[in-house]
Amino acid sequence: MSTVIPFESAKPAAAPKPERVGVLLVNLGTPDTADAAGVRVYLKEFLSDPRVIEDQGLVWKLILNGIILRVRPARKARDYLKIWNTERNESPLKTITRSQADKLAEAIADHDHVVVDWAMRYGNPSIKQRIEALAAQGCGRLLLVPLYPQYSAATSATVCDEAFRVLAGMRAQPILRVTPPYYDDPDYIEALAVSINAHLATLPFQPEVILASFHGMPKEYVDKGDPYQAQCIATTNALRKRLGLDASRLLLTFQSRFGKAEWLQPYTDKTVEKLAKDGVRRMAVVTPGFSADCLETLEEIAQENAEIFRHNGGEQFAAIPCLNDSDGGMDVIRQLVLRELQGWI
């Protein structure tokens, strides 16, 4: 005699809820305070990273601790004070990165098992703090998002280094993915072009020259195989094509050099000076290597280089904002994240 199975019990079991996934946006870092003490702590962590300064031998340690950390913090603190978000008592980089994480969470809120957070490679909130917090929320999978359009060992790779160090101390490690650089991603190039054109339309002048200024690095690092310079060139070439500008109208330069070694050239400040002396009177600068405005864009470009330009005969200077948490910038981050989450969501 056969057994009749009640209809209700014959229904398939409900599918298990998907495992929680953590998405961690990471940018370079910032001092916690805009004073010499805060900058000293930040610089010590930053300049003690062998990905940033590869030769961490005795001579460098003597220079770092005997000279740089005694002299540079007070000077850099004055620069930070020029751009500091006094309302939140934090740097603009921290304000913007937090907003990018909040807006990304809102944009992918229909994936309710995805948790979005943010961290800084140097300073706070640290990668260690946020990975541990995501693990505590049950995230068994982690997507690491270095917010650098172009890859370099001194930026993207050191984010991975730190994440791996954190995971090395965890018994139950989350499964890890890392987003790739997006230096020539069509969505990124389009967002840059739209942002540049929109900003240029607000200016009371038409720039004769636009500089695409990227953060510099020692030439030796590229000679050893770092792909950063090639990716900066690819970004600039794609941007020239999209904007319809040739190499004489959209120039590639490198900023923020440090120390006496040869860095990638041409240097931004020297180019700005020469162009002004050669008769260029109207200039704009865009910084496509930065996903968020920070000291290097708001102070070094918008203030220092503007002064260099005017001091040498230039008249009108504009610093074009980074994509930041704009609609276009967030669309780039959202599409990058969703593409790399395939199979997890």
Give the residue numbers of the binding site. 215, 296
Rg (CA), the chain: 23
The C-alpha atoms of residue 179 and residue 340 are separated, in whole angstroms, by: 6
User: In which order are the strands placed within the sheet that holds 209-215?
Assistant: 250-255, 209-215, 282-286, 316-319
pLDDT at 51: 97
Of residues 301, 81, 331, the one with CA closest to residue 189: 331
Give the residue numbers of the binding site for Fe(2+). 215, 296
Q: What is the dihedral of CA 8, 9, 12, 14, to 10 degrees?
A: 80
Task: Return all residues near 55 (Cβ < 8 A) that are at least 6 apart.
Answer: none
Per-residue pLDDT of the chain (345 residues; tens, 9 = 90+): 555 545 455 555 555 556 899 999 999 999 999 999 999 999 999 999 999 999 999 999 999 999 999 999 999 999 999 999 999 999 999 999 999 999 999 999 999 999 999 999 999 999 999 999 999 999 999 999 999 999 999 999 999 999 999 999 999 999 999 999 999 999 999 999 999 999 999 999 999 999 999 999 999 999 999 999 999 999 999 999 999 999 999 999 999 998 889 999 999 999 999 999 999 999 999 999 999 999 999 999 999 999 999 999 999 999 999 999 999 999 999 999 999 999 999
Q: Please, what are the domains in the chain?
A: 186-319 (3.40.50.1400)
What pTM did the predictor assign? 0.93
User: 311, 331 in Cβ contact below 8 A?
Assistant: no
